[in-house]
């Protein structure tokens, strides 16, 4: 009996697709035998592009290795090469194939929002979909950059930052008015016309007309001074100083263009840093470094081009993009980004003048940032090698998870884990778990740890059983449990019940009197041990434990604060914000509302007899 033929793989498998491939644009995916996506590419002609992979001896070592691993390919035809480029960027960003350039994406960039859905517009930070009516200014590189700008804008234009509910309930000016960061429109310290003058000045300033706004305020200050109104002149002077502070803190502000994103890429030792600078309304609104993952032999221009395409996958490109390298597919990329942004997008390589000077400064930032990153990674690599030695791992761990719980006498119980690896803390991978077991005894840390570990690793086991659903709950190499033998025993039992193997479990308990440096470590099948108090590995493990503790305590405090701030009136159908406010103003507190009679409830303005009965029955069930 003849044995079944082994499935085709590598160049032979790729060649088998050529008979049915169209001479049309599209996107292809190369996958290994386990179904993992190795590479995503686009092509003007799928047939011609894929046929190049079937040629033997025409590729470098990296491409040859990728071809050899390929066991399957998937294809999607598109209407145009531009559509193929957009789809390619989306798939790379989502799948993060091993042989593509990819990077850890951050959440959306923050903006400043000047709301227009209220008579007295509010100035605030906004992140996410632009669904609120108003003017959006951004993006800013970080929450810190937008917060600093907002604080200074409040001093310069005295616009309110409070919510509508707070605005409507004020009876006297708040602290912001006292420290000259708000004009207190909530209590009529400024009329509607005067406030709208401030709004118009702020809008003009944020649109880049800063000099005109400053000139106008200088003229007002001179007029006030001449009229001997020195208090008004001093207020205008303080506003001018705040505007100057915004401009000086922004560093380089261009004069030859108003709007652009700048990408400066620097590569060394197979690693790359890309500094992204945001310029809007002629002002520098911050920068952020990125460190894309890519093959060491990939040309820098290709790395940058792939990065830019992915960067704008869910963002709108500005009218001008400046790059430090000549991108091979610049025209096609500009067309694709312009299609998505519904405007013409230009991608340019600065050659001379102001743009070139700004690019050179950005390149210096990228070079220095990469140097710091490589130094940190070298130290991190040594620490992970030390962790492997301490706990007997065959290789340095790529993913470490640290678990901790928090509660107060069993109330508001919460479990969580943090993730660390070669790139430091992976904060996007952190997870919290609200303890759901209602039969859990107050303060039963063992039961809490059992629930958290069971929920987390059951999801991982489910994902691994269905590779199409994989991605969120990755398998760790090392799990640290904040606790001693009891906690470790619970973890071992959970792993045994779920059939989880090849994950090292370690318990870490604080020393006598909870002294740092005297921790005991517990590994299944070994005697407890301690590390040298001066060991760098011990310091590293302490940092991991402290980060887990910080994360879970923060989550617990938020949960507790939400419970404290909850109002039972919010649970009653028909009691909206207005009626809730009327009830609280009439009775003074939710507790007083709960104790009120049916007649007293019905006497409150806006509360009908039917609603009064509903409120009374809510607090007196069966009464």
- Superfamily, domain 400-563: UvrC, RNAse H endonuclease domain (3.30.420.340)
333-343 per-position pLDDT tens digit: 999 999 988 89
> What is d(CA 50, CA 22) in angstroms, rounded to the nearest whole number?
11
Q: In the Cβ-directed half-sphere of 397, how many Cα atoms lie within 13 Å?
A: 29
- Could you tell me where the DSSP H helices lie in 312-419? 330-341, 353-391
Query: Cα 451 from chain centroid?
Result: 27
Query: Phi, psi at residue 420, to the nearest 5°?
Result: -140, 155
| Residue 622 pLDDT | 58
* 468 band by pLDDT with thresholds 50, 70 and 90: low
The answer to whether residue 423 scores a pLDDT higher than 70 is: yes
Token pair of 286 as six digits = 């911050």
| Residue 44 pLDDT | 93
Burial environment of residue 25 by CB neighbours within 10 A (0 to 12, 13 to 18, 19 or more)? buried
User: Of 470, 368, 425, whose CA–CA distance to 104 is shortest?
Assistant: 425
In contact, 253 and 282? CB cutoff 8 Å: yes
Alpha-carbon torsion angle 311, 316, 318, 320, nearest 10: 50
Token pair of 618 as six digits = 């809510």
Q: State the fold for domain 568-619.
A: DNA polymerase; domain 1 (1.10.150)
Question: Which helix (H) or strand (E) element contains residue 137?
Answer: strand 134-137
Give the three-class secondary structure for 347: strand
- Could you tell me where the DSSP H helices lie in 102-163? 143-157
179-188, 362-371, 425-434, 565-574: segment of lowest average pLDDT:
565-574
* 42 band by pLDDT with thresholds 50, 70 and 90: very high
**72 DSSP β-pair partners:** 31
Token pair of 602 as six digits = 């019905």
Question: Which helix (H) or strand (E) element contains residue 124?
Answer: strand 123-126
Distances (CA, A) of 473 to 429, 493, 548: 9, 20, 18
Identical fold for domains 260-372 and 400-563, yes or no, is: yes
> What is the average pLDDT score of the chain?
85
185-189, 213-217, 498-502, 529-533: segment of lowest average pLDDT:
213-217
> What is d(CA 168, CA 388) in angstroms, rounded to the nearest whole number?
59
pTM, two decimals, is 0.68
Strands 478-482 and 504-509: parallel
Token pair of 334 as six digits = 């500009």
Close Cβ partners of 621 (under 8 Å, ≥ 6 residues apart): none
| Residue 253 pLDDT | 67
Neighbours of 72 (CB within 10 A): 18
Residue indicated by tokens 């001997």? 228
> What is d(CA 361, CA 235) in angstroms, rounded to the nearest whole number?
37
The answer to whether residue 77 scores a pLDDT higher than 90 is: yes
Give the three-class secondary structure for 165: helix
> What is d(CA 288, CA 283) in angstroms, rounded to the nearest whole number?
16
As assigned by CATH, the class of the 11-95 domain is alpha beta
Q: Domain coordinates of the chain in residue numbers? A: 11-95, 111-249, 260-372, 400-563, 568-619
- Phi-psi domain of 48 (left: phi exceeds 0; alpha: psi -120 through 50; beta: other): alpha
**CATH for the 260-372 domain, from 3.30.420.10, 3.40.50.10610, 3.30.1180.20, 3.40.50.460:** 3.30.420.10
169-173, 219-223, 241-245, 260-264: segment of lowest average pLDDT:
241-245
pLDDT > 90 in the chain, percent: 36
| Residue 2 pLDDT | 44
| Residue 267 pLDDT | 92
* 413 band by pLDDT with thresholds 50, 70 and 90: confident
Which string of b and e fits 114-139 if b means at least 16 CB within 10 Å?
A: bbeeeebbbbbbbeeeeeeebbebbb
> What is d(CA 252, CA 286) in angstroms, rounded to the nearest whole number?
10
């Amino acid at each position: 009996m003849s044995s079944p033929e082994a499935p085709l793989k590598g160049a032979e498998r790729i060649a088998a697709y050529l008979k049915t491939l169209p001479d049309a644009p599209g996107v292809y995916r190369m996958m290994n035998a386990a179904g993992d996506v190795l590479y995503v590419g686009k092509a003007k002609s799928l047939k011609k592009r894929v046929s190049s992979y079937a040629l033997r001896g025409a590729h470098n070592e990296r491409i040859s290795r990728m071809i050899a691993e390929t066991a399957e390919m998937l294809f999607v035809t598109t209407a145009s090469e531009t559509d193929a480029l957009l789809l390619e960027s989306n798939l790379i960003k989502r799948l993060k194939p091993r042989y593509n350039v990819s990077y850890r994406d951050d959440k959306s960039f923050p903006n400043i929002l000047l709301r227009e859905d209220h008579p007295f517009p509010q100035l605030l930070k906004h992140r996410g979909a632009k669904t609120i009516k108003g003017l959006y200014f951004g993006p800013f590189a970080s929450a810190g950059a937008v917060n600093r700008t907002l604080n200074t804008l409040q001093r310069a234009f005295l616009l309110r930052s409070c919510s509508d509910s707070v605005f409507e309930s004020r009876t006297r000016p708040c602290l912001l008015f006292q420290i000259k960061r708000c004009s207190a429109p909530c209590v009529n310290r400024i009329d509607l016309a005067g406030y709208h003058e401030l709004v118009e000045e702020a809008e003009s300033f944020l649109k880049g007309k800063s000099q005109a706004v400053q000139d106008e305020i200088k003229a007002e200050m001179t007029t006030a001074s001449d009229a001997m109104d020195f208090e008004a002149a001093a207020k205008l002077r303080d506003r001018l100083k705040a505007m100057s502070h915004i401009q000086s803190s922004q560093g380089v502000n261009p004069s030859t263009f108003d709007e652009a994103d700048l990408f400066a890429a620097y590569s060394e030792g197979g690693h790359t840093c890309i500094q992204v600078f945001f310029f809007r309304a002629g002002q520098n609104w911050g920068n952020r470094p990125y460190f894309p993952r890519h093959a060491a032999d990939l040309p820098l221009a290709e790395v940058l081009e792939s990065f830019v395409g992915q960067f704008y996958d869910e963002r709108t490109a500005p009218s001008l993009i400046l790059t430090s390298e000549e991108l091979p597919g610049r025209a096609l990329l500009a067309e694709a980004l312009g299609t998505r942004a519904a405007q013409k997008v230009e991608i340019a390589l600065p050659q001379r003048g102001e743009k070139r000077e700004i690019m050179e400064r950005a390149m210096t930032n990228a070079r220095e940032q990469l140097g710091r990153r490589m130094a940190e990674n070298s130290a991190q690599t040594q620490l992970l090698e030390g962790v492997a030695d301490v706990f007997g791992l065959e290789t340095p761990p790529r993913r470490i998870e640290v678990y901790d719980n928090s509660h107060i006498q069993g109330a508001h119980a919460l479990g969580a884990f943090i993730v660390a690896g070669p790139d430091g803390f992976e904060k996007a991978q952190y997870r919290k778990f609200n303890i759901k077991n209602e039969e859990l005894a107050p303060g039963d840390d063992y039961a809490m740890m059992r629930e958290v570990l069971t929920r987390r690793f059951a999801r991982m086991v489910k994902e691994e059983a269905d590779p199409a659903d994989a991605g969120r709950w990755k398998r760790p190499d090392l799990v640290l449990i904040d606790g001693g033998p009891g906690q470790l025993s619970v973890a071992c039992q959970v792993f045994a019940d779920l059939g989880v193997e090849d994950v090292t479990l370690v318990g870490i308990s604080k020393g006598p009197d909870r002294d740092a440096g005297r921790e005991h470590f517990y590994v299944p099948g070994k005697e407890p041990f301690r590390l040298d108090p001066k060991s760098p590995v011990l310091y590293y493990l302490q940092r991991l434990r402290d980060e887990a503790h910080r994360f879970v305590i923060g989550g617990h405090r938020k949960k507790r604060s939400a419970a404290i701030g909850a109002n039972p009136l919010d649970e009653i159908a028909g009691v909206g914000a207005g009626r809730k406010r009327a009830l609280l103003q009439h009775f003074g507190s939710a507790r007083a509302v709960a104790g009120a009679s049916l007649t007293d409830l019905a006497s409150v303005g806006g509360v009908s007899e039917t609603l009064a009965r509903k409120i009374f029955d809510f607090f007196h069930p069966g009464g």
